[in-house]
C-alpha cells in the first residue's frame, strides 16, 4: 500500500541536515526499497522492516559520519555571515548564464567572475582555486548539448571529479554533468520540455530550505531540457533531493493562476533541520519503476558539497528560484566555517571597486623584472566572453568633435500641414526620396510609439557609411571588413576595418563631446546621429563563429544625420533640430525648413493629398513571389529543428526563409506609403540608401532594444502570432487562444529569459525586470504576444556595447543563441541579410532605439525580398509553423503585389 507523501509524519535526516520523507509517492513497504541509516557510533541499522543489505563503502561512510558530527557541532554556533561570497561562474555557452550572474551579484554582494568552459586550462583553474584561493564556490551554467560530449561541457567534468572540497552548484547541463561525472546515465527524456513548468517535491535538504513543495504549493519551476539523469542509474554517492510532483507540465499563465491560492503545506523549517543527528542513503531497486514517470529535478553528493538542479532557478517563471541561490550561499558559508577562511594573495587578486580582478602570475625575465601582463577577469577569460568581449572600445578616437545642437519647436503644427505623411512627401520626397530616412511611428495606439523622425542629405556633418564583411562563407570568421564612407561633399574613402564595424562605430561615437543643456526640454532622445541598419550576418562580430551564407546586401548601412525633423504624435508638435561643430554657428537649414513648413501650412496642395492617399492608383500584379523553400522543404526544416531540440542542442530555433520577386524600376516612397496604409506599425521605417541601390520599406511591430537618456534599456520581444478574426467575436476568440496557448507561452518565456540574459550582461545587478509578460498587442492583420524587459545600464558601458551584447535579437535566433545560430545556418539555404537584423537610430549622445527588421520589403537590384519565419520548439506542429510563416508575409507581399 502506497503511503501519501504529505501525510507521512516520520522524517529521516540527510547528511547536510535535510530530510527525506519515506514516501516519494514511490517508496512502498516492499522488499525492493532499502533505507540505510548511519549513527555516529558507525552502527548501521535498517529502518524499513523489510530493508535489504547496507551498500555504502567504508570511505563514503567515514565522510558521511564526519559530516554529520561536524554539522551537529555547527548547529550550536552562530552562523558565519560573510561580507561577500566569491563565485566562479562557468558558462557553457548558454543564453541564460547572465540571469544567474544577476542573481548571484545581488545575493553574494559581489558579481561573480564569468568564464567559458574552455577559457582556462586545468592549471589556470587550480591556480585560482587552490593557490590564490580566489573563490568560495562554483556555479556551472546550463548549456546546449550533453555532458557526454567533451566540447559541450569543457573543463566542468574534471572540476566535478577532482574539486571535492569546494561547494559546486550545477544548473541543467551542470546538474547532468554532476550525475555523469559519478557514473549516472544521461538519457533522452520521455519528451523534451522547454519553457513549461512543473511543480516539484523535495526532501527538505539545505538547498531547498524554506521552499514549499507539493501540488498547489507554489513550488513551480521552469524547465528547459531534452535530456535527464536516469534516476535508476544513480550511484551510491548521489542522493535524489527533488523530483516532479507528476508527469504533467503546465503553461506559465495557467499554472500561475492555479498557484495563486497555494497551500504551502510542505514547508521545511530550519528548526526541523536543527534536530539533524542522522544521515541516510536511499537506494532504489532498478527492477521496479518506482518513479512512475516522475523526473529527477535535483541531486546532491553524499560526501561533497556538490549539488545539481535540472530546472532553471534563474528563469523569470520559477518561484523561489533566488532562494536556491541564497541557500547555496549559506551552504558555502557553513563550508567556510568548517574549513576555515580562505587566504587570498593580495598580489594577484583584488576585490576593489565591487568586482574581482585576477592577475595571472608570470615568471621573471632574465633581468629580474616582471613583464607587464595582467587581465581583469570580471567576466573575461582567456578567450573573453564571446558576444560581450568589447574590451578597449570605449576610448575616444584621435579626432575629438565638439558638437552643439540648435532646435526650434512649433506647437500643434503637424495636423495643420497634413501630418507626418504630407511633411515627409513634401520636404524629403523629391528625387524618389534618395538618401532619406523616415523612422515612422505610424501606429501610436495604446502608447506604443510617440515620435517620428525624418531627414535627408543635409549639412556639413552628413555622411553615409556602407560596411561589408569579407566573403568567407562557411569558414571561421577572422575579423574585419570593408567600409566605404561618402561625406557631405560627395568624396568617398574606402577602408579595411581590422576590428570590425561595431568597433568603428563605438570609437566614432566616443569622439563626440557635447553639452547636455543643448537638449534639455526635448521630450525625445534622438537629437541627431546615426540612422540605418545592422544586417543579421553581423552576428560574427557578436560571438557567432562564422556565416554560412554571404549577404546579398551590405552588412550595415548608416547615415550620419545632422539635420532632422521630429513629429510628436501625442501633442501634434513639430521640432526642427540641427547639430554642428562648435566652430560653426550656421542655422541655415533650420531657417530654410521653417520657411517650407510655413508655406505648407498656408497652402496644402489638393493634388498632393490625393497622391498620398493612394486611392485607386494601383493595378494588381500577375507575377507572384517565388519562395526560397517549398512548402515541403520548409516543413522538412521544421522537423530538423525539432530533432535538434530533442537531442538537447537547442531549446528553441527561429527558423526563417525568404520570398522574392523581380520588380524592375519602382517608386519606393509610394510603395512604402501603401505598406504604411495596409499595416501601420510602431517601429515602421523607410530607409533609402540610393548609392548602393537599397530601399527598405518596414512595418515592424517589434522593438529590439532602446536606451533612453536615463540609462534605462528596454527590449520588447514578440513571440506568438495569430491572424485577426473576421467578426468581433472571432477576433476575440483568436486573441484568447493566443494568450493561453501552451506553445506560444513557452516560446515567449524562453525569449524573455534570453533577453533578460542579454540585458544582464550590461545592466546593474538587480535592475533587470519584466514589467509586462506575455501581453497581447493587436495590429491591422495580426495579434501578437509581446513582453517588456528593462534594466539600468552600467555607467561604464557604452551604447554600442549594449547593442552588441544583445545582437542579433533573440526573438530571431532562439536559445541558446550561439548554438542556435550555428544550427540555423546549417538548415537555412540563403542569407538573411537586412531581414532579422535591426534598424533605427543611435544618437550622438549615446541613446538609441532599434527595431527588429520583420514585416519588411527590401528593394535591391530590381528585386523585392521579404523574410518571414517562426520559433520552432518541441511542441511545434510543422503545418502550423508553415502557415504562420505565410501569414507574416501577407501584409508586405500584398502591398508589393497591389502596387506593382
Q: Which residues does the annotation mark as catalytic?
A: 172, 312, 314
Task: For residues 503 and 294, give the distance between their C-alpha atoms in angstroms, rounded to a whole number.
Answer: 50
Task: For residues 37 and 151, give the distance between their C-alpha atoms in angstroms, rounded to a whole number.
Answer: 40
718: exposed, middle or buried (Cβ count in 10 Å: 0-12, 13-18, 19+)? buried
The alpha carbon torsion through 590, 596, 601, 606 (nearest 10 deg) reads: -150
Residue-by-residue DSSP string for 549-565: S--SS-SEEEEEESEEE
How many beta carbons lie within 10 A of that of residue 116, not counting itself? 23
Cis peptide before 460 (omega within 30 of 0): no
b/e code 583-614 from CB counts within 10 Å (16+ = b): eeeeeebbeebeeebeebeeeeeeeeeebbeb
Return the percent helix, strand and coil in the chain, to nearest 5: 30, 30, 40
Whether residue 816 contacts residue 651, with contact meaning beta carbons closer than 8 Å, is answered with: yes
How many beta carbons lie within 10 A of that of residue 561, not counting itself? 29
Mapping DSSP to helix (H, G, I), strand (E, B) and coil, where does residue 471 land? Answer: coil
Cell triple for 98: 547572465
Determine phi and psi for 141, rounding to 5 degrees.
Answer: -75, 170
894: exposed, middle or buried (Cβ count in 10 Å: 0-12, 13-18, 19+)? middle
683: exposed, middle or buried (Cβ count in 10 Å: 0-12, 13-18, 19+)? buried
- Which residue(s) pair with 404 in the sheet? 580
Mapping DSSP to helix (H, G, I), strand (E, B) and coil, where does residue 406 land? Answer: strand
* Cα Rg of the chain (Å, integer): 30
Residue-by-residue DSSP string for 772-828: EEEEEEE-SSEEEEEEEEEEEBPTT--HHHHHHHHPSPGGGTEESHHHHHHHHHHH-
464: exposed, middle or buried (Cβ count in 10 Å: 0-12, 13-18, 19+)? buried
User: How many Å separate Cα 115 from the centre of its chain?
Assistant: 18
In 163-227, where does DSSP find H-type helix?
Answer: 173-181
Least Cα distance to 415 among 664, 229, 601 occurs for 601
Cell triple for 640: 530538423
Task: For residues 845 and 767, give the distance between their C-alpha atoms in angstroms, rounded to a whole number.
Answer: 23
Task: For residues 629 and 701, give the distance between their C-alpha atoms in angstroms, rounded to a whole number.
Answer: 25
Task: For residues 196 and 225, give the distance between their C-alpha atoms in angstroms, rounded to a whole number.
Answer: 10
Task: For residues 101 and 20, give the distance between their C-alpha atoms in angstroms, rounded to a whole number.
Answer: 31
Residue 754 zone, left/alpha/beta (φ > 0; ψ -120 to 50; rest)? alpha
Residue-by-residue DSSP string for 116-172: ETTTS-HHHHHIIIIIS---SEEEE---SS-TTSHHHHTTHHHHHHH-TTS-EEEET
Whether residue 2 contacts residue 29, with contact meaning beta carbons closer than 8 Å, is answered with: no
Residue-by-residue DSSP string for 472-488: -TTS-----EEEEEEET
Mapping DSSP to helix (H, G, I), strand (E, B) and coil, where does residue 518 land? Answer: helix
DSSP single-letter state for residue 566? E
DSSP single-letter state for residue 536? G
Determine phi and psi for 431, rounding to 5 degrees.
Answer: 55, 45
Amino acid at each position: 500500500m502506497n503511503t501519501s507523501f504529505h501525510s507521512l509524519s516520520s522524517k529521516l535526516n540527510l547528511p547536510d541536515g535535510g530530510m527525506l520523507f519515506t514516501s516519494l509517492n514511490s517508496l512502498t513497504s516492499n522488499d525492493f526499497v532499502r533505507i540505510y541509516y548511519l549513527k555516529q557510533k558507525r552502527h548501521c541499522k535498517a529502518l524499513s522492516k523489510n530493508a535489504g543489505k547496507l551498500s555504502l563503502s567504508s570511505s563514503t561512510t567515514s565522510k558521511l559520519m564526519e559530516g554529520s558530527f561536524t554539522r551537529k557541532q555547527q548547529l550550536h554556533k552562530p552562523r558565519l555571515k560573510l561580507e561577500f561570497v566569491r563565485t566562479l561562474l562557468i558558462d557553457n555557452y548558454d543564453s541564460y548564464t547572465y540571469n544567474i550572474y544577476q542573481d548571484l551579484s545581488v545575493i553574494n554582494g559581489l558579481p561573480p567572475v564569468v568564464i567559458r568552459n574552455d577559457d582556462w586550462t586545468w592549471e589556470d583553474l587550480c591556480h585560482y582555486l587552490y593557490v590564490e584561493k580566489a573563490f568560495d564556490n562554483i556555479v556551472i551554467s546550463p548549456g546546449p548539448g550533453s555532458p557526454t560530449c567533451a566540447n559541450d561541457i569543457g573543463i566542468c567534468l574534471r572540476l566535478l571529479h577532482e574539486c571535492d572540497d569546494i561547494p559546486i552548484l550545477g544548473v541543467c547541463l551542470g546538474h547532468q554533468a554532476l550525475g555523469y561525472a559519478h557514473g549516472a546515465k544521461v538519457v533522452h527524456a520521455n519528451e523534451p520540455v522547454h519553457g513549461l513548468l512543473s511543480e516539484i517535491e523535495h526532501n527538505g535538504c539545505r538547498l531547498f530550505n524554506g521552499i514549499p513543495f507539493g501540488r498547489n504549493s507554489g513550488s513551480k519551476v521552469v524547465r528547459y531540457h531534452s535530456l535527464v539523469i536516469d534516476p535508476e542509474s544513480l550511484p551510491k554517492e548521489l542522493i535524489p533531493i527533488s523530483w516532479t510532483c507528476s508527469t504533467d507540465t503546465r503553461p506559465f499563465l495557467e499554472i500561475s493562476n492555479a498557484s495563486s491560492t497555494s497551500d504551502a503545506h510542505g514547508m521545511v523549517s530550519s528548526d526541523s533541520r536543527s534536530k539533524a543527528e542522522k544521515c541516510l542513503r536511499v537506494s532504489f531497486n532498478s527492477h521496479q519503476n518506482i518513479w512512475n514517470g516522475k523526473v529527477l529535478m535535483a541531486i546532491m553528493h553524499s560526501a561533497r558539497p556538490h549539488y545539481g538542479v535540472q530546472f532553471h532557478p534563474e528563469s523569470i517563471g520559477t518561484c523561489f528560484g533566488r532562494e536556491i541561490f541564497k541557500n547555496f550561499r549559506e551552504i558555502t558559508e557553513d563550508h567556510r566555517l568548517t574549513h576555515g577562511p580562505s587566504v587570498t594573495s593580495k598580489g594577484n587578486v583584488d576585490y576593489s571597486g565591487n568586482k574581482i580582478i585576477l592577475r595571472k602570475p608570470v615568471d621573471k625575465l632574465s633581468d629580474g623584472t616582471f613583464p607587464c601582463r595582467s587581465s581583469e577577469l570580471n567576466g573575461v577569460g582567456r578567450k573573453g566572453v564571446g558576444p560581450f568581449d568589447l574590451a578597449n572600445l570605449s576610448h575616444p578616437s584621435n579626432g575629438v568633435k565638439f558638437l552643439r545642437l540648435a532646435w526650434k519647436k512649433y506647437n500643434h503644427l503637424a495636423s495643420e500641414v497634413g501630418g507626418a505623411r504630407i511633411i515627409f512627401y513634401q520636404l524629403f520626397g523629391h528625387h524618389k526620396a534618395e538618401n532619406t530616412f523616415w523612422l515612422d511611428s505610424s501606429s501610436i495606439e495604446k502608447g506604443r510609439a510617440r515620435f517620428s523622425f525624418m531627414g535627408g542629405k543635409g549639412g556639413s556633418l552628413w555622411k553615409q557609411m556602407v560596411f561589408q564583411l569579407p566573403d568567407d562563407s562557411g569558414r571561421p570568421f577572422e575579423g574585419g571588413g570593408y567600409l566605404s564612407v561618402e561625406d557631405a561633399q560627395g568624396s568617398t574613402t574606402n577602408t579595411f576595418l581590422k576590428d570590425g564595424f561595431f568597433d568603428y562605430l563605438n570609437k566614432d561615437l566616443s569622439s563626440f563631446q557635447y553639452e547636455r543643456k543643448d537638449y534639455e526640454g526635448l521630450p525625445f532622445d534622438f537629437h541627431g546621429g546615426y540612422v540605418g541598419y545592422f544586417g543579421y550576418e553581423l552576428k560574427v562580430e557578436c560571438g557567432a563563429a562564422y556565416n554560412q551564407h554571404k549577404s546579398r546586401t551590405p552588412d550595415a548601412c548608416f547615415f550620419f544625420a545632422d539635420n532632422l525633423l521630429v513629429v510628436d504624435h501625442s501633442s501634434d508638435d513639430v521640432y526642427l533640430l540641427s547639430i554642428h561643430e562648435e566652430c560653426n554657428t550656421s542655422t541655415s537649414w533650420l531657417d530654410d525648413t521653417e520657411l517650407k513648413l510655413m508655406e505648407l501650412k498656408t497652402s496644402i496642395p489638393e493634388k498632393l493629398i490625393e497622391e498620398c492617399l493612394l486611392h485607386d492608383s494601383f493595378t494588381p500584379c500577375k507575377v507572384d513571389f517565388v519562395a526560397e523553400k517549398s512548402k515541403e522543404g520548409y516543413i522538412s526544416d521544421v522537423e530538423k529543428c525539432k530533432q535538434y531540440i530533442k537531442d538537447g542542442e537547442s531549446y528553441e530555433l527561429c527558423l526563417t526563409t525568404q520570398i522574392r520577386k523581380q520588380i524592375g524600376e519602382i517608386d519606393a516612397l509610394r510603395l512604402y506609403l501603401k505598406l504604411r496604409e495596409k499595416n501601420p506599425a510602431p517601429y515602421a521605417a523607410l530607409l533609402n540608401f540610393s548609392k548602393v541601390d537599397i530601399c527598405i520599406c518596414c512595418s515592424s511591430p517589434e522593438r529590439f532594444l532602446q536606451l533612453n537618456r536615463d540609462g534605462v534599456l528596454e527590449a520588447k520581444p514578440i513571440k506568438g502570432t495569430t491572424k485577426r478574426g473576421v467578426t468581433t467575436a472571432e477576433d476575440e476568440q483568436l486573441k484568447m487562444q493566443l494568450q493561453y496557448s501552451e506553445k506560444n507561452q513557452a516560446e515567449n518565456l524562453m525569449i524573455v529569459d534570453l533577453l533578460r540574459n542579454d540585458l544582464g550582461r550590461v545592466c546593474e545587478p538587480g535592475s533587470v525586470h519584466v514589467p509586462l509578460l506575455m501581453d497581447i498587442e493587436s495590429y491591422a492583420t495580426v495579434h501578437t504576444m509581446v513582453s517588456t524587459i528593462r534594466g539600468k545600464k552600467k555607467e561604464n558601458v557604452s551604447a554600442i556595447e549594449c547593442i552588441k551584447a544583445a545582437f542579433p535579437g533573440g526573438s530571431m535566433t532562439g536559445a541558446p543563441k550561439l548554438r542556435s545560430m550555428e544550427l540555423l545556418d546549417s538548415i537555412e539555404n540563403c542569407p538573411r541579410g537586412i531581414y532579422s537584423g535591426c534598424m533605427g537610430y543611435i544618437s550622438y549622445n549615446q541613446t538609441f532605439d532599434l527595431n527588429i527588421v520583420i514585416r519588411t520589403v527590401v528593394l535591391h537590384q530590381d528585386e523585392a525580398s521579404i523574410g518571414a519565419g517562426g520559433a520552432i520548439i518541441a511542441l511545434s506542429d510543422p503545418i502550423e509553423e508553415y502557415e504562420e510563416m505565410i501569414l507574416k508575409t501577407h501584409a508586405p507581399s500584398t502591398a508589393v503585389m497591389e502596387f506593382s
